Amino acid sequence: MPAITVSSPAVTFVSQQVGTQSPPATVTVTNSGNATLNVTSVITTGDFSESDDCVGTPVAASATCALSVQFVPTGTGTRNGVLTIYGNVAGGQATVALTGVGTAPASIVLTPITVNFASTLVGSTTLAQNVTISNTGGNSSNLQSITVTGDFTLSANSCNASLASQTGCTVSIQFAPSTAGARTGILTVVDDVGTQVSTLAGIGISQATDNLAPSALSFAPQELGTASVPQQVTLTNTGGAALTLINANATGDFTVVNGCGASLSGGSSCTLQVSYVPTSLGAESGLLTVSDVTRSQTVMLSGTGVAPPGLSLSPTNGLTFAATPVGQQAPAQTITLTNNGGFPLTINGVSATSDFIVGSSTCGQTVAVGGTCVVYIDYVPTAAGTRTGKVTFDDNAGSSPQTLPLSGIGVDFTLAADGPTSETIASGQTANYLLLLTSIAGVPGSASMTCTGAPAQATCMVNPSSTSLGNANGSVLTVTLATAQASASLRTRPGRSNRALVWLAMLLPAGLYLRSRRRGSRLLLASLCLSLIACGTVARTIPDTGGSGGGTGPVITTPSGTYPLVVSATSDGLVRSVNLTVVVQ
């Protein structure tokens, strides 16, 4: 009788992606009986299929035939089935257990899907960035090709030709921009699943530049020790990269303030402020040096140091004015200003103190270098004696303010009665008055005396007629008014002896008075004077016109009445007066 023997009671397939067909597994059928085996059918269950050369072909005893079984999973996980062989054997059949595992398809994932590179100088290469190629599916996948485009290169690749399930590998990419600006590329992976890409991006930047302008600075003449208005030097970076390690310094009498700092970003500019502070006279030069990461550049500097405005005054020892009556203006005197500096002299003001006045001037607000001008000073004393003051010049010279002393003498005096101011006399008698002229000690000059207002046929004289000023004790003056009187029929011819006696009587009291300081003595001397006058001449007679001998004729007398007398002392236009009164009976 025939019998069926199979090569294996069970067949286990390796894991197979869902929807795909596994390689065939062979099951050998042997006729272990002694009669011919006829296989009528072969049936599989589950996710399995078969093909054979057994059905319809008799199998002699001890002969074999083959069954080909394949696994086509329709789902994931363990999949089971049975292979059943039907024939003319006892029981009618034989079976083989079938087992396999269905797996998900392969899945290739790129991480990250966008790679951004830092801005990079044209011609330079960045550090590498990694992209991971992962198989997150259940089956392995063949990696057919890995490529990059644009300014990007693969610097390393850890991937094999096949990528197993749940494994990954890494590729390294570098950016090397060929031109400035935005640069893009693509990482492309072709595998069994399809084509996966990652976007690559970077920015190419040009090299930094360091354009410095201008190449020279020229400063206007500058006063010693002062700082000029700053001038600018501009540093420009037209490149894309930052300009670093910026440093600036200046030589000579020049200074620089670095407004750029140590770094200047691409496409921008900055300024350096250069000033000139001269320490010596004359032309000077210097050098501004600006260095950075790429090179050093220089700017030529030049300027001229000049002296500050200067002021010299002439006369150097001030002004002295002549003695001038109080309240009157002395002739103006001048002060000459000279700008002996290197800059125009600015005059802010000129002022004077005390009895001195700044008059006209040929000076404007400024005096050119080397120029001169004149200021007039007036003097109007307000009091007697030595008067002092100063004139002050306010200007922009370093020695400002400058002063000069001013001095002068004020002339003044007083004239006052030193006794009665009114006298009553008969015609033919003499009225005498005492006056006192006083002034400050040391006041120069003299005063001349006059007497006005004498009545008809009378004379008024002041003794002395001129007196010096500056007597601290005062000067005594005698005023004498002589009147005329009717005489007897016998007229006396005036002779030399009589006239001399009259003058003696008039001069003696004044001379004696100067030696006396007591009022009683003054009165005694005045009485003595009157007695001498009375003794010397009895009457004032008018000579006749008929000859030199004696005789009779008409006599003119001083009319009676009250008469005001004005006695004045005059010195350089300064007049002081005293009013006196004489009553003639």
Q: Give 392-403 pLDDT, tens digit per residue.
A: 999 999 889 999
Q: Give 409-452 pLDDT, tens digit per residue.
A: 999 999 999 999 999 999 999 999 999 999 998 899 999 999 99
Total-model pTM: 0.50
In sequence order, what are the beta bridge partners of 239? none
503 CB contacts (<8 Å, ≥6 apart)?
A: none
- Identify the CATH assignment for 211-306 out of 3.50.50.60, 2.40.10.120, 2.60.40.10, 3.40.250.10: 2.60.40.10
Residue 79 has pLDDT above 80, yes or no: yes
Q: Please, which pLDDT band fits residue 553 given cuts at 50, 70 and 90?
A: low
pLDDT at 105: 83
* Cα 338 from Cα 397, distance rounded (Å): 11
CATH topology of domain 4-103: Immunoglobulin-like (2.60.40)
Phi, psi of 419 (to 5 degrees): 165, -165
* Cα 365 from Cα 349, distance rounded (Å): 9
Q: Where are the domains of the chain?
A: 4-103, 108-205, 211-306, 312-411, 414-539+555-584
What is the C-alpha radius of gyration for the chain, rounded to an integer number of angstroms?
Answer: 72
| CA-wise closest residue to 261 among 253, 312, 303, 269 | 269
Average pLDDT over residues 299-322: 95
Q: Give 236-287 pLDDT, tens digit per residue.
A: 999 989 999 999 999 999 999 999 999 999 999 999 999 999 999 999 999 9
Q: Please, which pLDDT band fits residue 554 given cuts at 50, 70 and 90?
A: low
Residue 523 has pLDDT above 90, yes or no: no
Q: Please, which pLDDT band fits residue 486 given cuts at 50, 70 and 90?
A: low
Residue pair 361/388 in contact (Cβ under 8 Å)? The answer is no
pLDDT at 548: 42
Q: How many residues does the chain have?
A: 585
**Amino acid (one-letter) located at 235:** L
Residue 500 has pLDDT above 80, yes or no: no
CATH topology of domain 312-411: Immunoglobulin-like (2.60.40)
pLDDT at 411: 94
CATH topology of domain 414-539+555-584: Immunoglobulin-like (2.60.40)
| Average pLDDT score over the chain | 88
Q: Please, which pLDDT band fits residue 551 given cuts at 50, 70 and 90?
A: very low
420 CB contacts (<8 Å, ≥6 apart)?
A: 433
**What CATH code would you report for 108-205?**
2.60.40.10
Residue pair 86/171 in contact (Cβ under 8 Å)? The answer is no
Two domains, one topology: 4-103 and 312-411: yes
DSSP state for residue 264 in the 8-state scheme: B
pLDDT at 224: 92
Residue 537 has pLDDT above 60, yes or no: no
